[in-house]
Every structure is written in structure tokens, then in C-alpha cells.
């Protein structure tokens, strides 16, 4: 019900064309020298931390870079799940509102106008065009990227069905087939990269970095990247997957982190990410001292996203 109400409010905001005018810095924001962290050798680009420096007229730090958080995990019951199509529709709405805000702007529009203004009441969910992050768990579904090979779904019959009866949805992200379902934390950032770094490789590495940091906070040791592939790995098993789409530097889709044992149940029906012979794992298999719930790990993931992207997350009221 809360999810349906949120979609209705977003639809009304879109129809009213209620896009906030934001104050932007009048001077260029300089970047400090970068220092890499958590880095393994990468041929797919590097992660470089965001270093924000304000100017004489405006402070630029995490407190001013406010991003909406559509959190369907923290206050939900353990079994509350969102249908894939519903979350996909929400992503598309948020992206279109971002694109409407950007409009036909110059190649390099003012920085930081995608963030929620400081004077705005955080209970005003009708704001359209702001950076947003969605956090949820899905009902079971296999998703295919734009050019994914259906042969990586076992028993796929060519008519869009498979004998496991798990829905198959082809979407507009990159990458091969993956699985979403209960026990897995899925995060969809809808961000205008003009306020971060206009580089898709940097963005992919930043998503991985946020996962690595969250896993570290949760006590998972040995998590790492692997050369020439996306995602995060523990003991040679994949614990998190990444797949995104960008349109005019606005992002959608995102990451999925396997938290509890339920998240692994249906990976046997596919070749995850098209990587033959590679296994998957979850947080609760990787640690002995604690068994995490989705809600508990979400706390670490939110903190990691704020740190890596230099933002403050504001939960919406639905």
C-alpha cells in the first residue's frame, strides 16, 4: 500500500510539473588531489574518492548534498517484497523527472542543482527531479540486460518461460542474466552524475566501493574486486552484482547484495552474470559471528553510500 501511494504521489508531481528551482554555486567547484582506497588492479576504470571544496559564497559538503531515500526495507517486515515491474516503473518515473529538470541545458550545467534544497521540508515527498536512491528486496525474478544471452537461463524455452516458473524480465541495463529475490538487498540510485563524476567507469567502481565499505562495516573480511569483471567477491564467490543504465548522465538500475541464505536459492537456475563455473555466496555464509537481517545490513549500506558519494540520505514519508 505504501509503495502504491508513493507511485501515485510521484505521478501527481509529474503531472503538475512541480520541479524545484535550485540554487547553484556561481563559481566552479575545484577538486582536490585524489587518493584511492580499496583498490585492486582494474582495467575497467578506477574509483577516485569525491573531494568537495566549497567557495566564498556557498558551503559544499555532505550536509548540502541531500538525496531522497525511498526505503522499503528498514521499516518493513522481513517478508515484505516489491514486484520487479513496480520498482522498475518507479525508477523510470524518477529518471524522467530528472531529465525534465535538466531540460535542454548547456553541456556543462551548474553543479549540484539535483540535490534537495536545505529549506525543503523532508516530509514533502512530491518534490520531483531530485537525486534519489531506492532500497528494497524483490519477489523472485530473473533479469536480462539489453544484449543478454538467454542460454544462460537453464531450461529457457524461447517463449519467455522456464520450468522454474520464475519470471524473466528483459530490461535496459548492461550485463548478463542475474537473479533478484528475498534475502537480497537491492539498491537503485537515480543520480545525475554531473554532481559526482561524469564517467560511467568511475560510477561502477564507486558502486563496488560502497559495497566493499558496507561489507567491511558488517565484519565481512576478504571482500574484493576481480580484474576485468564487475561486482564484489568473497573467497572467489560472487556476493554482489552491479548493472546500470545511463541516459544524459542520469543513472538507473544498480546493485544487489546477497545477505541471507534465501538469496541463493534460485541462482541454480542460471549462469549468474554469464560467468561459467563461478559460485555465489551471501553475507551470512561469509561470517560466523552474526547472522544479518536485511534491515541490519541496510544500515551499513546506507552509511557506505553516504560516505562514497558524499551525500546525506533523507528518508521520504509515504
**Catalytic positions, please?**
273
CA distance linking residue 114 with residue 64, whole number of Å:
11
Three state DSSP letters for the chain: CHHHHHHHHHHHHHHCCCECCCCCCCCCCCECCCCCCCCCCCCCCCCCCCCECCCCCCCCCCCCCEEEEEECCCCCCCCCCECHHHHHHHHHHHHHHHHHHHCCCCCCCCCCCCCCCCCCCCCCCCCECCCEEEEECECCEEEECCCCCHHHECCECCCCCECCCCCEEECCCCCCCEEECCCEEEEEEECEHHHCCCCHHHHHHHHHHHHHHHHHHCCCCCEEEECCEEEEEECCEEEEEEEEEEECCEEEEEEEEECCHHHHCCHHHECHHHCCCCEECCHHHHCCCCCCCHHHHHHHHHHHHHHHHCCEEEECCC
CA distance linking residue 73 with residue 185, whole number of Å:
8
Amino acid at each position: 500500500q505504501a509503495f502504491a501511494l508513493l507511485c501515485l504521489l510521484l505521478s501527481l508531481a509529474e503531472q503538475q510539473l512541480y520541479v524545484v528551482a535550485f540554487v547553484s554555486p556561481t563559481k566552479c567547484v575545484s577538486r582536490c588531489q585524489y587518493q584511492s582506497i580499496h583498490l585492486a588492479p582494474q582495467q575497467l576504470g578506477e574509483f577516485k574518492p569525491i573531494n568537495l571544496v566549497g567557495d566564498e559564497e556557498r558551503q559544499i559538503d555532505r550536509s548540502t548534498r541531500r538525496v531522497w531515500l525511498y526505503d522499503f526495507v528498514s521499516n518493513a517486515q522481513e517478508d515484505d517484497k516489491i514486484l520487479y515491474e513496480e520498482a522498475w516503473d518507479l525508477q523510470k518515473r524518477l529518471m524522467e523527472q530528472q531529465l525534465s529538470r535538466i531540460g535542454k541545458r548547456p553541456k556543462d550545467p551548474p553543479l549540484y542543482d539535483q540535490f534537495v534544497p536545505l529549506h525543503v521540508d523532508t516530509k514533502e515527498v512530491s518534490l520531483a527531479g531530485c537525486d534519489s536512491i531506492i532500497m528494497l528486496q524483490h519477489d523472485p525474478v530473473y533479469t536480462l540486460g539489453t544484449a543478454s544471452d538467454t542460454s544462460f537461463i537453464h531450461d529457457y524455452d524461447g517463449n519467455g518461460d522456464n520450468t522454474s516458473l520464475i519470471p524473466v524480465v528483459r530490461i535496459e541495463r548492461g550485463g548478463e542474466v542475474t537473479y533478484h529475490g528475498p534475502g537480497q538487498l537491492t539498491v537503485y540510485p537515480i543520480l545525475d552524475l554531473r554532481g559526482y563524476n561524469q564517467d560511467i567507469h568511475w560510477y561502477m567502481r564507486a558502486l563496488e566501493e560502497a559495497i566493499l565499505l558496507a561489507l567491511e562495516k558488517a565484519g565481512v573480511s576478504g571482500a574484493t574486486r576481480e580484474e576485468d569483471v564487475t561486482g564484489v567477491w568473497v573467497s572467489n564467490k560472487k556476493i554482489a552484482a552491479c548493472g546500470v543504465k545511463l541516459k544524459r548522465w542520469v543513472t538507473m538500475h544498480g546493485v544487489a547484495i546477497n545477505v541471507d541464505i534465501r538469496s541463493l536459492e534460485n541462482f541454480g537456475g542460471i549462469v549468474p552474470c554469464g560467468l561459467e563455473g563461478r559460485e555465489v555466496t551471501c553475507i551470512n555464509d561469509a561470517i560466523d559471528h552474526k547472522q544479518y537481517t536485511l534491515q541490519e545490513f541496510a544500515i551499513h549500506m546506507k552509511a557506505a553510500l553516504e560516505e562514497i558519494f558524499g551525500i546525506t540520505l533523507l528518508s521520504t514519508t509515504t
